[in-house]
Chain A
Amino acid sequence: MRPSDFIAKIVTERRGYLWLGVAALAIASVTILVTCLSLDSDVLNMLPGKFESVNALKMYDREFEQTRALTFALVCKPEDVDKLEEFAPIFAENLRKETWCERVLAGSPMETPDGVRDLQGIAVPLLLNLEPTAFESTMSILQPERIRERLHRLHQQIEAGSPRPQFELEFDPLGVIAPALKPFAENNAIQDEQPLTSTDRTMRVFLALTNQRSISAFECQRLMKEVDVFRAHATEGWNGGPLEVLITGRSAYVAELSLIMRHDIVATLLGSILLVSVIFFIGFQRWLPLIGMGFSLLLCCLVALALGLLIFGQLNMVTIGMCSILIGLGVDFAILIFGRYQQARIDGEEHRQAIATSIHRLGRAVFFGALTTAVGFLALVLSTSIGFSQLGVLIAIGIAFAGLFMCTILFLFMRERQPPLRHDWVFGLVKRYVVWSVKRPAPILIMSILLLSILSIIGLTPPMLPFDSSTRSLEPKNSRAGNALAEIMAKMPTRWEPVLAIVRAPNEQQLHGYWQKLSAHWAELQRTGKIKGFSTPAALTLSPAWMQANRERLRTFDFQAARGSLEQALAAEGFSRDSFATGFKLIDDLQAIVDPAAALPSWRDKLPKSSSWWFLVDRYFGRDPMVTTGFVTTTERIKTHAQYEMLSRELPVPDVPTVLSGWNYTLANLLPWAQRQLVIISALMALFDAVLLAILYRDWRLWIIQELTLFFAVGAMLGTMKLLNLPLNLLNVLAFRLVLAIGVDYGIYVLLIWQKAKQLEHDVAGVMKPVLLAGLTAVSGFGSLGLARNPSLSGLGIACAIGIFWSLVATIFFTLPAAAAVEPKMWREER
């Protein structure tokens, strides 16, 4: 018994068993999904994991508090700038009162008394952490003679009317805090380029550290709900014109992205189901098989998701978009199989026989179609991106099951007693075209070659299709968080995103040594103009060795003399002793650490938890204080791989384990990878297809026709994208392998039938109609992804829809007439 007859027997005579099997499969899949479902919302997991820069970005997200920070911006009209200045502290105070808010930065900490006090508080450990020669020089300021000289000079300057001594004495009464903080201040010049007020004063920025437990999608959604409640009444007390409240930050993005994903799944799934249903009904005028097709596809999705979950343990949210892709692909098999079944019924075959015929005639084509598509998507495993690997494996599993289910389960939805279709106008049109194109292929061939060649020339000649590697290309359309960030960036005279340099060390001393070396090296790069600036945690990384040596030095210091000299100088110069209380305390603090039994002081213990300076500190130190980050501002925005190569060559220092990263840096790093994805992997896939087709057709003329069809489809796709100004990005490059996979399928269906066709109108037209309908449904299915707000899905969908459209056009208007031209069939019919 042929396999097709066996399947037909099972489907018709053992329906109950088959339904039981379907139910068991569905229950098992649903159980796995319900019990094990774990979603990964990290967009970084769409990037290849083999790159250090990608892993460093993930580490930065995981290890550093900054990922829990939200940026708020208030934007007013130019006439309200003074009101905004007055309202800013009220807004900041309201922000501080929110239960989800841990800390707020509303301005430079140096401009607030608390900020100055906090800085004075960490002076002792930072002073002790100075390089021993610098420490020696700084401590000499506390020699009695130097104290007297300094205060006398400052008194005279005050009398002369200078504002400077007043600021100096209030911040640094003894003159040793400034030298202690000098390394810290030098390394943080980058802060000057990140003001919290726009130059026109119409925008004020506030940073708020939230207390969310994780940055998972659900946690971010929960937080953003509370933040939105705050946003709703955030302008209470404002009495000016319109005041806009902008909110951005990692949590805002994740919350929005995950909600957008939910919308996208529903919108694209409903969109594709609706469009596919309409086309199916127009083509076959049957509802029950349509339901069967939908049921089979749903089962494919369920099985693929369940198996994917078992394989990967967690699924990236973007991969769930594969449901739409699977529907777009799987529907082809259903249409072909049902089309052939319907034709067999029209030819007078019984239900069981018609099933056997359709499987026998098209089972091979469906098998090879599923194989090429599955292999094409499995190639995504080579991308080393967790997200894309999952997408590839899930689609491969799904398409394999789609092939199987369409040859089995679909027939459960076809009724034996239903009479065959009597009037099929779609088939009539297709038949007329097939007859005409086979009898006179030349005119159609000339027209199609002309059109496809022009588009291919446009697509494949310079200027090449632009490759958009910006982070914006990955952001959702009309994202509130994205728009807020764009508005803030436009208003603020900020630099572009810096390069991150992540350094991990086993202990404090080594960490200190690493940053000393990096700071010195980067200062040299800045001097030679290779970088614009940098900031590092060098001043905050403590050196136990230096601190111990400096403590030894302090033992010989005469604190009593310093205290006495200060008292005398204050009295002599007429200074108020109360104003110098912090100076006396500093001497006491220094004397206290002389005791060898006392622990070496750490600025971490001295800085209050509520201090705004933590915003700066958290930029540099991860949750593990041995994981640190430095920032390098480049002379221009990183856009090219050459810039990446220059930075990756220049920034590291030998023997310092540094990992460079940052979004722009990473994307520049990934450019060759993305282009390789486009060129090499697509070429490999094309090669696989070419070999497979050569084995399948065993006819070089048909093989060339098929290869030319694929070339025209991809060329016309590129040309169209160029004409429509649709750039390539890191995600829509996937479309090429999809178009190749589907294009091969269409070619296989048409050319395999052509090889074996005995009756032109019956056999060839019989497959051209399903191919046409399958193509249209695939275009609709992928086109519906354009409804997605996630650019990765919508971009992919639009690129696929364009590519499949041209595949279909090339198959109908080039493959068929070309096959007719090189291997005429008319004689068979006439004979």
Chain B
Amino acid sequence: MFKNSLTIFILLLLATLAKADPLSPADLKIVLEKVRERRTSSPHVQADFQEEKAMRLMSKPIVSSGKVWFQAPNKFRREVKGNSPSVTVSDGQQLWIYYSNFKSAERYSLGKKSPLDTAVATVNTALNLENVETTFHITGAKIDNRYELVLTPRSPSMKRMFQKFNLRLNADLLAERTEMFQPNGDRIVTMYSNQSRASIPAATFEFTPPAGTDVTTPLGR
């Protein structure tokens, strides 16, 4: 009985210690301003990631891991390791997805008002937090020295892609965890580690498919 009561007491104490402090709009503004300052001073970010994708289509979630490189405002590279490796590269104008197992690549043109544009813009904005207030409703809380932000898209086109986007920033204001909820019930949780603001070579965001690669353009443009 005592043991149980002690356990409950300790749990309550921990819960109190880890209690989230909701951010007021003014505090939120300060946080976002700090993020902007960091981004301006060092626009490059890289990190390792681990992702769990729960899809309606699959019985079990799909887990993948790899590394991601990002340069504000819209360049990124994402390499997935494991049995089904892939490389996703965007220079802001084009998006390449290369599957080394199949020696095939998909090329998507951005800036053509396609749903893909909305998806990429949404993720970029969420990770970049640039002009985030204009495209998302934001609420947030401070937990210890971290920030938990909840982003809800304002525009219907974004809402068609994501219902909600949870973002956890570490003390250095870098993404630590993202959680994306899609309207069809799919959910993607990504954990980031070993984040760094070290400079990234420009070639990282360029992609040329290896010889013999079968290139397709699924959206036809």
Contact = CB atoms under 8 A, between A and B. Distances in A.
Interface of A: 82, 85-86, 88-89, 153, 156-164, 166, 169-170, 199, 574-576, 579
Contact of B156 (A82, A153, A159, A575): A82
B86 A576 contact: no
A170 B101 contact: no
17 contacts: A82-B154, A85-B156, A85-B157, A156-B83, A156-B84, A157-B99, A161-B64, A161-B97, A162-B99, A163-B116, A164-B106, A166-B55, A169-B57, A170-B57, A199-B113, A574-B60, A575-B57
Contacts of B84: 156-157, 159-160
Closest 7 A-B residue pairs measured CB to CB?
A: A160-B86, A159-B84, A82-B155, A160-B84, A85-B156, A156-B84, A579-B57
Given A156-B102, A576-B59, A162 B86 contact: yes
A162 B156 contact: no
Contact of A162 (B55, B59, B106): B106
Contacts of A88: 156
Contact of B58 (A82, A85, A161, A575): A575
Interface string B155-174: 11100000000000000000
Contacts of A162: 86, 97, 99, 106
Contact of A158 (B55, B78, B156): B55
Contact of A160 (B57, B85, B155, B157): B85
A249 to B, nearest CB: 26
A161 B218 contact: no
A147 to B, nearest CB: 16
Nearest to A570: B59
B156 A86 contact: yes
Interface string B37-71: 00000000000000000011111101010000000
B31 interface: no
B82 interface: yes
A89 B59 CA distance: 33
Interface string B71-96: 00000001010111110100000000
A86 B158 CA distance: 11
B184 to A, nearest CB: 8
A120 to B, nearest CB: 16
A89 B58 CA distance: 31
A579 B186 CA distance: 13
B59 A161 contact: no
Interface of B: 55-60, 62, 64, 78, 80, 82-86, 88, 97, 99, 101-102, 106, 113, 116, 119, 154-157, 218
B35 to A, nearest CB: 23
A contact patch SS: helix
Contacts of A579: 56-57
B126 to A, nearest CB: 17
Nearest to A158: B62
A153 B102 CA distance: 9
A156 B80 CA distance: 12
Contact of B57 (A86, A89, A576): A576
Nearest to A159: B84
B23 to A, nearest CB: 25
Contacts of A576: 56-59
A826 B88 CA distance: 105
Centre residue among B55, B56, B102, B156 by max chain A CB count within 10 A: B156
Nearest to A113: B184
Given A89-B156, A575-B59, A579-B56, 20 more contacts: A86-B155, A86-B156, A158-B57, A158-B58, A158-B62, A159-B62, A159-B80, A159-B84, A160-B97, A161-B64, A161-B78, A161-B86, A161-B97, A162-B86, A162-B99, A163-B116, A164-B218, A166-B55, A169-B57, A199-B113
Nearest to B101: A156
Contacts of A159: 62, 64, 80, 82-84
Contacts of A169: 57
Nearest to A82: B155
Contacts of B59: 574-576
Contacts of B86: 160-162
Nearest to B153: A82
A163 B157 CA distance: 17
A159 B58 CA distance: 11
B106 to A, nearest CB: 6
Contacts of A575: 57-59
Most buried by B among A85, A159, A166: A159
A455 B82 CA distance: 88
Contacts of A166: 55, 57
A111 to B, nearest CB: 8
A326 B101 CA distance: 85
B80 A160 contact: yes
A730 B155 CA distance: 49
Contacts of A161: 64, 78, 80, 86, 88, 97
Nearest to A577: B59
Contacts of A574: 58-60
A86 B157 CA distance: 9
Nearest to B98: A160
Which of B57, B60, B80, B99 has most chain A Cβ within 10 Å? B57
Nearest to B88: A161
Contacts of B97: 160-162
A166 B218 CA distance: 12
Nearest to B84: A159
B155 A85 contact: yes
Contacts of B155: 82, 85-86
A579 B185 CA distance: 13
A162 B96 CA distance: 10
A575 B55 CA distance: 9
Contacts of B154: 82
A463 B21 CA distance: 81
Of listed B82, B86, B88, residue having the most chain A CB within 10 A? B86
Nearest to A173: B57
A381 B82 CA distance: 84
A156 B62 CA distance: 10
A307 to B, nearest CB: 61
Contacts of B62: 158-159
A313 to B, nearest CB: 54
Contacts of A82: 154-156
Contacts of A199: 113
Nearest to B221: A192
A82 B156 CA distance: 7
Nearest to B154: A82
